[in-house]
Amino acid sequence: MISLLFLFAVFLALGLFFVFADILKLPTVKASKAMINTGRQDKKLSRTMEALFLDAAVKVSRLIRMDEYKKSRLKSILKAAGIQMTPETYTAYVYVKAGAIFLGIIPCLLLLPLLSPVLVLLAVAVYFQESQRADECLRAKRDLIESELPRFVATVEQGLKNSRDVLSIMENFKKNAGSTFAGELDIVCADMRSSSYEAALTRFEARLNSPQLSDVVRGLIGVLRGDDGAVYFQMIAHDFKLLELQRLKTQAQKIPPKIRIFSFLMLMCFLLTYLMIIALEIIKSLGGMF
């Protein structure tokens, strides 16, 4: 009886949803997914649930109120991370996604009460994960760019021996840079052509908020002001090489524990093979005795 009532409530809710969706002229799921995928920097297509969550987040975002400092900071983080959302929509998306999981407690209390604490913990975990997603994307992007800075600094150091045209040096390096760094250099070069060189470099530094990039930008601005940047870039090139070696050592230290797991699995496979051979020999010997 309870299952029939539950099915009746589900189908009634679906029917009312489709009726009100037609009255309010809500976009279909395919239309929402097409809007989300338009202009995305990554090539992964959005899922249906993501489209529904984002559609609800756009409506909830009208109720979100943020102070100017938090709004401007989150806006810069989203822009640098490549997330095409306003700060209000991003915040509303976090609330909607975590709230949708939290609302699953209602049917769980009727059918499986023991599952309710699991959903509460899952909703809290999703909230913190989604709220930190922009920072994680920006951190990953910053790490990719910082890994290419030693090579960029060495290129600038060599380029200053023949020319002091910062824009041409950056455009030449862009041809051999990674996709992430090349995309940022595209923005910087376009910004430098349309405005002041120093202002464009300052905005480039502010987007990523990287200490290493700040040192590079400081040197480039010094070159634009007429300073002899060759010695400066030689110094930071030496420092960046040391940082790169430290980063590689840190990555190398993370590899042995992963290898140890597979080595243990191989050892267990060898032991099982020997045990199977010994067991088969024992069984054959016992069969010969009888």
Going from N- to C-terminal start, the domains of the chain cover 9-25+45-113, 141-253
Average pLDDT, the chain: 78
Give the per-residue pLDDT at 270. 79
Q: What is the pLDDT of residue 40?
A: 46
Comparing C-alpha atoms, which of 217, 220, 222 is closest to residue 207? 217
Please, what's the b/e burial string for 276-286 (b: 16 or more CB within 10 A of its CB; e: otherwise)?
eeeeeeeeeee
> Tell me, what's the pLDDT at 290?
54
DSSP per-residue string spanning 163-185: ---HHHHHHHHHTTS-HHHHHHH
Banded pLDDT at 41 (limits 50, 70, 90): very low
Task: Read off the tokens for 81.
Answer: 């991370």
Mean pLDDT of all residues in 244-252: 76
Amino acid at 153: V
> Alpha carbon of 36 to those of 46, 55, 61, 88, 117: distances in Å?
7, 10, 16, 16, 33
What is residue 45's predicted lDDT score, i.e. its pLDDT?
40
| pLDDT greater than 60 at residue 90 | yes
127, pLDDT greater than 60 = yes
Q: What percent of the chain is modeled with pLDDT above 90?
A: 0
Q: What is the mean pLDDT of residues 154-177?
A: 86
pLDDT of residue 111: 74
Q: Where are the alpha helices (DSSP H) in 44-132?
A: 48-60, 68-81, 87-102, 105-111, 116-131
Q: What is the pLDDT of residue 228?
A: 76
Main-chain dihedrals φ then ψ at residue 85, nearest 5 degrees: -140, 150
Q: Helix crossing, 133-159 with 211-224: angle to 10°?
A: 40
Least confident residue range of 5-19, 116-130, 158-172, 199-213: 5-19
Q: How far is CA 277 from the centre of its chain?
A: 49
How many residues are listed for the chain in this entry?
290
Express each pLDDT in 75-89 by its tens digit.
Answer: 888 887 878 888 888
At 145 the pLDDT is 87
What pLDDT does residue 46 have? 46
The encoded tokens of residue 116 equal 């309710």
**How many C-beta atoms surround the C-beta of residue 175 within 10 A?**
8
The answer to whether 159 touches 222, Cβ cutoff 8 Å, is no
Q: Would the pLDDT of 35 be above 70?
A: no
Summarize the confidence of residues 20-32 as an average pLDDT: 57
pTM of the model: 0.63
